[in-house]
Structure 1
């Protein structure tokens, strides 16, 4: 029940693309015709490195849950919230990923559950909503 939430399709695509770019960039830099100078080659390497870094971050998107709350690692930002802070879980039509409504009025995207994963994503959103309901239950709910 406390297994991490990770996207399937986005993770596979990011890992494959990252490996391809990681292999192709040095091959390109080392075999490119001599008309390019050192600054150009460094530029190619930096762009390739940025793409690999982006793919690595995308592949690492997840939400880790435990007894105390949920730690969300999105593409650029990471945040941890306690269960009591989560008001609801939303995954309506048109949403690319799950959103948590928080008690302070803020929302938190959970990119670890992505619409592109179809039925798997719907099941994972339901699992997260169940976890929220279980962990935010009080004597007044019973």
Structure 2
């Protein structure tokens, strides 16, 4: 990587994707709440609308969860349903190949771990910079370091 490596701790997130998801979730929630308040209906029906509105907000919040946090001790990968803490020597390589939906970490146990917190989706250049930064950190702090 050219230039200085990022200061630790650092968190990588798909900021544009996250902002879009949260905006859409809030907008859908607001529309459903407004409709529920405008319609003449029973309390139970209105409660159903409010529950639906919370679901329309909850799903984007859930989808916006992924991130990768690097600190002096290692890296924490938070994906949709999992959270995994890795020490630096466990991370052998960081890959973001053309067409990959997100970064993959090659691990010392022979497996590969997806890191959904760095994804090229709607911010390809940022994802490439983040992948290079994480790769540099892994090389500097990993088994070779």
**TM-score of the superposed pair, with normalisation by structure 2:** 0.82
Q: Does 1:134 align with 2:137?
A: no
Deviations 1:22-57 (A, max 9, x none): 3222212222354x883x544433332122112223
Partner of 2:91: 86
Which deviates more, 74-83 or 124-133? 74-83
Query: Could you tell me how far apart the structure 2 residues matched to 1:14 and 1:123 are?
Result: 22
Q: 2:89 touches 2:143 (CA, 8 Å); kept in 1?
A: no
Q: Does residue 101 in structure 1 map to residue 106 in structure 2? A: yes
| Counterpart for residue 64 of structure 1 | 69
Give the match for residue 124 of structure 1.
130
- Matched residues, number: 137
- Counterpart in the other structure of 2:37: 30
Partner residue of 2:12 out of 5, 14, 25: 5
Distance 1:77 1:42 in 2: 31
CA RMSD of aligned residues (A): 2.1
TM-score by length of 1: 0.83
Contact 1:10–1:58 (8 Å) recurs in 2: no
Gaps of 5+ in 1: none
2:3 maps to none
CA distance in 2, matches of 1:21, 1:9: 18
The answer for unaligned runs of 5 or more in structure 2 is 1-5
Aligned to 1:111: 116
Mapping 1:13-28, distance limit 5 Å: 13-28=20-35
Separation in structure 1 between the aligned mates of residue 47 and residue 81 of structure 2, nearest angstrom = 25
